[in-house]
């Protein structure tokens, strides 16, 4: 039989392996942030793209150049469309997610644990391209029939598809947040004469608010970074949207359609990396907000 290592040596091996894993993850994250930041900032430092024009310009056209010899890099239409799709999809999904969570936890816990949650987990595993296909054939067709528009593409169908995609994440986190509320809160409220709905509204939801806010922010993060499904229903036109049913383009859809077109190191390529830097920055801000909400919730619970 192979000789076993002494306990102290075994602990040192475990410490070394786990420490190496942490160091590897830290190195990968730091390298990704450094690479995206370096290439993204090159558009402003090396190529001379105006930061003000990038954030406030309304014309995005990398194929043609302006009088200064640089492509048109006004990313404001992409930024506006990205936030519009994210906010609208969250507004659609949020009441459905919270309402479903209340029913699954407070009204019918047995149904929630045995039927509803497995169904939500199944929805989570559906690939993005499937949502995109359904959105293109069903949602876009519905937009054309209802609003009598020519294409049916735009922010509204993109938001509807994204709302369905972020619904499982928001619902699952909302269910976990409501279940984390101690039963003593409910019993105390009922003992004081509150009805069940008053208890849910004034006690349970208020106590679970940090968890519900985390669910909202994570859903918004997913919506802000989604690419494939949105690309299939939003239209891909890089211009300022004039309505919810005018074809438009988000930051992520522009990146996927343009990144392989231009030569590495060109001004166009660097500008696309700047879009990637903006996208990464927004994701980091969302993560920071989640940590702040979690810390505030921990302080509130004592």
Which residues are paired to 289 by β-bridges? none
* 209 is a domain residue: yes
Is pLDDT larger for residue 297 or for residue 89?
Answer: 89
On the question of pLDDT at 193 being above 50, the answer is yes
Output the CA–CA distances (angstroms, integers) from residue 74 to 144, 231, 274, in the order listed. 30, 20, 12
Overall domain count for the chain: 1
130: containing domain: 73-300
Q: Is residue 149 packed enough to be buried (19+ CB in 10 Å), middle (13-18) or exposed (0-12)?
A: middle
Report the share of the chain in percent with pLDDT over 70. 96
Which pLDDT score is estimated for 292? 85
* 79 is a domain residue: yes
* 51 is a domain residue: no
Question: How many angstroms separate the CA atoms of 43 and 45, rounded?
Answer: 6
* 64 is a domain residue: no
* 233 is a domain residue: yes
* 37 is a domain residue: no
Tokens 């047995």 found at: 110
DSSP calls for 68-108: TSSEEE--HHHHHHHHHHHHHHHHHHHHHHHHHHHIIIII-
Radius of gyration of the CA atoms of the chain, in A? 24
- Give the helix/strand (H/E) hosting 241: none
Listed in sequence order, the residues at least 6 apart from 239 whose beta carbon sits closer than 8 Å to its beta carbon are 60, 77, 248, 249
Do residues 222 and 82 touch, judged by C-beta distance below 8 A? no
Q: Tell me the per-residue pLDDT of 218-249, one tens digit each, with 9 for 90 and over.
A: 999 989 988 889 999 999 999 999 999 999 99
Four-CA torsion 16, 18, 19, 25, nearest 10 degrees: 140
On the question of pLDDT at 1 being above 60, the answer is no
Question: How many angstroms separate the CA atoms of 218 and 89, rounded?
Answer: 13
* 229 is a domain residue: yes
Which pLDDT score is estimated for 121? 83
* 131 is a domain residue: yes
Q: Tell me the per-residue pLDDT of 17-72, one tens digit each, with 9 for 90 and over.
A: 999 999 999 999 999 999 999 999 999 999 999 999 999 999 999 999 888 889 99
Question: How many angstroms separate the CA atoms of 282 and 169, rounded?
Answer: 19
Tokens 């497995």 found at: 118
What CATH code is carried by the domain that includes residue 106? 1.10.3720.10
The confidence band for 297, taking pLDDT boundaries of 50, 70 and 90, is low
How many residues does this entry show for the chain? 302
Which residues are paired to 168 by β-bridges? none
Tokens 């005018």 found at: 246
Which pLDDT score is estimated for 299? 67
Secondary structure letter of residue 3 according to DSSP: P
Which pLDDT score is estimated for 261? 86
Predicted structure pTM score: 0.89
Which pLDDT score is estimated for 23? 96
Which pLDDT score is estimated for 13? 84
Q: Where are the beta strands (DSSP E) in the chain?
A: 60-65, 71-73
- What are 70-76's contacts with CB under 8 Å, separation 24+? 70/267, 71/267, 71/268, 71/271, 73/43, 73/49, 73/271, 75/251, 75/274, 75/275, 75/278, 76/240
The confidence band for 10, taking pLDDT boundaries of 50, 70 and 90, is confident
In b/e form, how buried is each residue of 124-134, taking b as 16+ CB within 10 angstroms?
Answer: eeeebeebbeb
Mean pLDDT of the chain: 91
Around 11, how many Cα atoms within 13 Å sit in the side-chain half-sphere?
Answer: 3
The pair of structure tokens assigned to 71 is: 């492509």
């Amino acid at each position: 039989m192979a000789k076993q290592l002494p306990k102290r040596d075994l602990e040192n091996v475990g410490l070394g392996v786990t420490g190496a894993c942490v160091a590897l993850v830290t190195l990968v994250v730091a390298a990704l942030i450094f690479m995206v930041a370096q290439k993204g900032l090159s558009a402003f430092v090396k190529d001379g793209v105006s930061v003000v024009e990038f954030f406030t310009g309304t014309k995005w056209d990398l194929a043609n150049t302006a009088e200064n010899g640089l492509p048109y890099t006004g990313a404001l239409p992409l930024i506006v469309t990205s936030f519009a799709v994210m906010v609208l999809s969250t507004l659609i999904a949020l009441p459905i997610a919270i309402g479903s969570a209340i029913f699954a936890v407070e009204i019918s816990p047995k149904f929630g644990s045995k039927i509803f949650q497995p169904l939500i987990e199944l929805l989570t595993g559906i690939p993005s391209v499937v949502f995109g296909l359904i959105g293109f054939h069903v949602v876009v067709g519905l937009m054309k029939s209802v609003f009598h528009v020519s294409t049916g593409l735009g922010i509204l169908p993109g938001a509807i598809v994204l709302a369905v995609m972020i619904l499982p994440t928001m619902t699952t986190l909302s269910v976990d947040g409501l279940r984390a509320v101690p039963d003593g809160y409910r019993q105390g409220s009922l003992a004081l004469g509150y009805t069940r709905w008053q208890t849910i509204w004034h006690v349970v939801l208020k106590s679970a608010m940090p968890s519900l806010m985390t669910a909202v922010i994570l859903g918004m993060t997913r919506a802000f970074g989604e690419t494939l499904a949105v690309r299939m229903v939003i239209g891909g036109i890089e211009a300022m949207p004039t309505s919810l049913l005018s074809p438009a383009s988000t930051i992520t859809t522009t990146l996927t359609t343009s990144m392989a077109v231009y030569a590495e190191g060109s001004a166009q390529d660097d500008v696309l990396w700047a879009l990637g830097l903006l996208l990464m920055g927004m994701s980091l801000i969302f993560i920071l907000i989640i940590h702040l909400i979690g810390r505030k919730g921990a302080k509130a619970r004592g």
